[in-house]
Structure 1
Amino acid sequence: MPTDTLPIGRYEKQPTVPLPADARVLHGAPAWTLVADTAAAKAGDRVPLIVVDAYPGADLPLLAKAIAGALPRWRVVDVEEAAALPTSAIDARFADNLTDDRVFGVLSHATVDAFYDTEHLDKLAVEIEGADGPTVLLGWGADLVARRTSASYALVLADMARWELQMRQRAGATNWRAENPDEDQLRKYKRGFFVEWRAADRHKRTLFDRIDFLLDANAIGPAEPTSRKPGMITGDAFRTGLEQAANAPLRVVPFFDPGVWGGQWMKRKLDLDPGRPNYAWCFDCVPEENSLLLEDAEGAIVEIPSLDLVLLRPKELLGERTYARFGAEFPIRFDFLDTMEGGNLSLQVHPLTDYIHQTFGMQYTQDESYYMLDAGDDAVVYLGTKDGVDRDAMLEDLRAAETGERPFPAERYVNAFPAKKHDHFLIPAGTIHSSGANSMVLEISATPFIFTFKLWDWGRLGLDGIPRPVHLDHGERNLVWERDTAWTEANLVNRVEVVSQDGDVTEERTGLHELEFIEVRRHWFAERVAHDTEGTVNVLNLVEGDEVEIVSPTGAFDPYTIHYAETFIVPAAVGPYLIRRTSRSRSERFGTVKASVRGTSRQA
């Protein structure tokens, strides 16, 4: 059964990860009563204390209201109001990290205490130490105050995913204690990405082993989901649940976003909202931004950032060698770029490794590739400069286009290679590239995903009506001009090598280029194919066929069902696994692409 006639609606948009069998998601007053009882037990003869350390961006007024309603005898103290530095002081402290650029900053290595007045923290700690009634400390960094006391306390982490934060910011929410409700969303995101989220993730890593409870703060906000109440689980359930997740296949929760070049393929094939004009992106495996849905035996859900799994169980998830190389960062990204009946992506280039490290503080760069999940008859990929290009003339035309003087004649300078379904185009950093219209791209890349230097955007405005940012100065410094037509054809276009063939199973190496650290293998099969993580994380997508299941040959985990176009993660700790057709499968042939970090397997 060809994939273009697969039944609509099979793609699972809300995949879940099971909690331990005995864990339960609690809601409302019963949840907070359990927290209060835990605090009282820890306090003994002293006045009990609850610490709710909330990720920056959590809706503290609504959270305080919920706590006060459930625990009317408890005093709720907003740590942020009592001890945070003034906004002007925070702005000055991080000016060099935020820069004047609309998109790019420099990674901050600050910790949460850099956002607070030390004297005010000390004063608040003295006040809490002498409190004569039960107290709740609330806010990002609330644990900073509690640690200054001699109290034993119940610790709650109110956690949030970055995608939810972005949605709130688009709707007018500010950055943490910033006065920027109407600021350009790109600048809000920059402040989070380069400063706030970095400090917040460092901080919560100090809490994971100590939290008594985890609260889903994604469900507490002005647009509270009607289908899900704010849930809470115990710290033990959180830790055990993520330990289990790091030893079995899983999917993160994908999210979809429109764009000026967006297409119609995902809307139709993945059963998305038909009322939206288009969908441009799907982040199907970007753990820094996606969520995990933890589900108890009764079907209740708690949403957490999937990054928590990376931060808490990096060795099991990534593998010891990959962890040693990248630290607690998920280095592989899978996402969709849909231009079917849409427009061209921007003409762009990604920074070279030395440049991204020296300029922005990132450890590694955004090498990538385009795997064609589907393509129209006229689909092309722009890749590499044409032979004999006059670089000065090209840069002059790019600058003229940036000012609006005249459009940039891309076909004069950049190769346009015809693209068909299952083609694979490799794009090491420094290579000029773009996906043309009428393509459905599975982008397989390294994770530093905002470092795109647009060179030409076909004269378009963003969805916000503002010209999309172009970074010619950065781009010029990173274009590798030697990647011309001959080099690109020889090195980057459909470099498929058959690795093995056994019965109905064919394994192919499709890249990436030797300058990139990601290894990609494609497997074709009719019934089943055996895999082994070999000690490093595997990221896969079912690029052909209707449905398969992931099976442990030893029964270490339950069979895990995957549908066409779904991306899934197989943690390093899994080891051997099988991918096989299910009893419901109707396809004659199946295909997967699998990405891993080159040189980190046990056999490397």
Structure 2
Amino acid sequence: MRSSNYDKFPFVSITTEADACQTGWVAIAGVLRAALLAATSAPGQPQVLAVECYPGTDLAQLRQELTQALQPAQCVVADDLYLPDATIDALVAGPLTDDPVFGRLNGLTIKDFFDPQLLQAAQAALAGAAGQLVLVLGTGATLVCPSPAVLVYADLARWEIQLRQRRGEIANLGSANFTEKASLKYKRAFFVDWRAADRLKKQALPRADFLLDTNDPAAPKLISGADLRAGLAATVRRPFRVVPFFDPGVWGGQWLREVCDLPDGPPNYAWGFDCVPEENSLLLGFGDARVEIPSIDLVFAHPRELLGEAVHGRFGTEFPIRFDFLDTMGGGNLSLQVHPLTEYAFDKFGLAYTQDESYYMLAAEPGAVVYLGLKENVELPAMLADLQRAQDDPAAPFPAAEYINEFPARAHDHFLIPAGTVHCSGANGMVLEISATPYIFTFKLWDWDRLGLDGQPRPIHLTHGAANIQADRTTTWVEQNLVNQLQDVASGDGWREERTGLHECEFIETRRHWFTGPVPHHTNGGVQVLNLVQGTEAIVESPSSAFEPFVVHYAETFIVPAAVGAYTIRPHGAAVGTECATLKAYVRTQP
């Protein structure tokens, strides 16, 4: 057993009452049966149980269990009312483009997937089922029946969706592409399925009578909509963590396996996603039961309390800050890459903002480096020609040392990476990546002559990259602007605060606190994301006891909602008497 106190399954305790959550189909059916008996339907109308489903939900199991338990007179599956597969494929072809990774954000809705005539016929059939129990389920069930007697929302985490895609268990919305590459199914979900489904979720989830957690097919869980909404309201007024997930990669290392006590199965762990609310889950505790929901549900339900007025006004219901891990400890270099400039991201992909980022080194072996910016007097056309040559001829590797700076990397170094800056982490480093959220938009320039885990070349985006590389970000400029830009900010009894970045053209500010005693913090009306970058354990407390004390461990990322206001952090447990450190990020709201 590895010695690790990293919590892989953090949860927010909502209530100790065990009966608030029903587990298993028998218990769930009993609750729904009682809800239907208590519900009233208008004279001459059917009694409809609608189960609105997030794409990827196992509809076959859902239909089998509910029809067997409830014996409805009819069962209508929304997906059966969609346009033909080929028509939907043509509908989404424009936003998806022919690029293997990138598409374009768009305004497609779930209603666009429906055949209008089939939808109208289904609604007419419902009208003719007066007094009968009808089950309507699937993605778009609330479009088939906008006002059911009982509404259930069957939710599913995006990481679970990705795992099902990889296993070939599910296809994309309105498609039969079960055997398509998982990366292409993910791309279609990212640009089409999830965007359209989230638009409908924002309308359906706030009025749902029940939330059905379908992440574990063997143990479905049901809570009332009222308990869900109470849980979200409680979460947004206290510090919390989302559920991390981890994935291997061609360059992955071994640090995460040890520090986070991860399984030995995969050859490595390249990524650790510890704060990507678009894809992470949130666990809500009801007695001993844990209900898993996408953490983006919290953003949708309480954007102002979570993000703050200014951040919500700028980003809407998107969580703009991302913390994740990049592990090359005992692994290899990341791909040499660049992120799009804001105007390019908007013109090509419909993004309102781009992926500015930074590398904070949690650990580094001797000799570790970060590749950052161009060397002085580099001729960009010559570099691009060598990059193209390396793509065309595996026997002519790209001479990175001739063009790209290599900076020594040590623990607690902070490298700032505004969009347009060529960069990558070298081998034997452990990066806490702090960035804006549009994480899929990375242009790989060179991948060090290697194949992906699937044995195929990973996509290279040299044309996109060439349009965004900022050739004036050379050695001197990078040293003066992007490497360890430390500035003392404040200090007190047992603590000191430093500004570590980010660059002025990035919207995220980062502050590091070193402390042996309590450190005063305040959200100042904006969401904050922190990681305990040194020390075994710390405790987050409210000066006014507004929330229960919250313990965090080394390398854990946690979110402090804007509504929290004042809070303190101090060493806890075995860390008492030692110096700890947190790194905090927030959105700059003033120059």
Is residue 83–residue 113 contact of structure 2 (8 Å, CA) maintained in 1? yes
Partner of 2:295: 306
CA distance in 2, matches of 1:174, 1:512: 40
Q: 1:156 aligns with which of 152, 174, 184?
A: 152
Structure 1 CA distance for aligned equivalents of residues 438 and 150 of structure 2: 36
| 1:200 and 2:197 aligned | yes
The CA deviation at 1:450 is 0.4
TM-score, normalisation: structure 1: 0.95
Query: What residue in structure 1 maps to residue 370 of structure 2?
Result: 381
Q: Is the 8 A contact 1:348 1:455 kept in 2?
A: yes
Contact 1:376–1:438 at 8 Å: present in 2 too?
Answer: yes
- Sequence identity, in percent? 53
Residue 399 of structure 1, aligned match among 388, 391, 399: 388
The one-letter code sitting in structure 2 at the alignment partner of 1:112 is I
CA contact (8 A) 1:548 1:579 kept: yes
Residue number in structure 2 paired with 1:4? none
Aligned-residue offset at 1:75? 3.3
| 5+ residue gaps, structure 1 | 1-6
Structure 1 CA distance for aligned equivalents of residues 363 and 73 of structure 2: 58
Cα distance in 2 for residues equivalent to 1:451 and 1:119: 38
Match of 1:339 in 2: 328
Q: 1:583 to 1:97 in 2, by over 3 A?
A: same
TM normalised by structure 2 equals 0.97
The separation in 2 between residues aligned to 1:154 and 1:502, in whole angstroms, is: 56
Q: State the distance in 2 between where 1:152 and 1:504 align.
A: 59
Work out whether residues 545 and 587 of structure 1, in 8 Å CA contact, stay in contact via their aligned partners in 2: no
Q: What amino acid is aligned across from residue 124 of structure 2 in structure 1?
A: V
Q: 1:14 aligns with which of 9, 13, 20?
A: 9
Q: Which amino acid aligns with 2:366?
A: D
Aligned length: 584
Contact 1:546 1:586 (C-alpha < 8 Å) held by counterparts: no
**Structure 2: distance between partners of 1:461 and 1:65:** 43
1:112-131 → structure 2 map (5 Å cutoff): 112-131=110-129
1:12-69 CA-to-partner distances (Å, cap 9, x unmatched) read 0000112245571112222222223323332346542100010111110011112123
Q: Distance in 1 between matches of 2:127 and 2:12?
A: 40
Q: Distance in 2 between matches of 1:486 and 1:584?
A: 43
Equivalent of 1:557, from 534, 542, 547?
Answer: 547
1:371 to 2:360 alignment: yes
**2:154 matches 1:165:** no
Aligned equivalents of 1:532, 1:542: Cα separation in 2: 17
Cα 1:421–1:210 change in 2 (3 A) is: same
**Higher deviation after alignment, 397-406 or 364-373:** 397-406
Q: 426, 436, 445: which one pairs with 2:426?
A: 436
Contact 2:528 2:561 survives alignment (8 Å)? yes
Inter-partner Cα distance in structure 1 for 2:180 and 2:46:
43
**Equivalent residue for 2:32?**
35
In the alignment, which residue of structure 2 is the partner of 1:103?
101
SS at match of 1:43: coil
- Give the AA of the match of 2:291: V
* Residue equivalent to 1:3: none
**CA contact under 8 A between 2:539 and 2:570: conserved in structure 1?**
yes
- 1:218 aligned to 2:207? no
Question: Residue 3 of structure 2 aligns to which amino acid in structure 1?
Answer: I
Contact 1:546 1:587 survives alignment (8 Å): no
Q: Separation in 2 of the partners of 1:278 and 1:74?
A: 52
Q: Distance in 2 between matches of 1:313 and 1:481?
A: 42
Instruction: Compute the displacement of 1:274 (Å).
Output: 2.3
**Paired residue type of 1:140:** T
CA offsets per residue over residues 55-87 of structure 1, 9 Å max, x none? 111110011112123223553221211x11111
Give secondary structure in 1 for the equivalent of 2:205: coil
Q: Structure 1, residues 289-311: CA drift from partner, whole Å, max 9, x if none?
A: 00011110x21111110010011
The CA RMSD measured in Å over matched residues stands at: 1.5
- Match status 1:453 vs 2:443: yes
Amino acid at match of 1:19: I
The Cα shift of 1:152 comes to 4.4
* Cα distance in 1, alignment partners of residues 589 and 72 from structure 2: 58
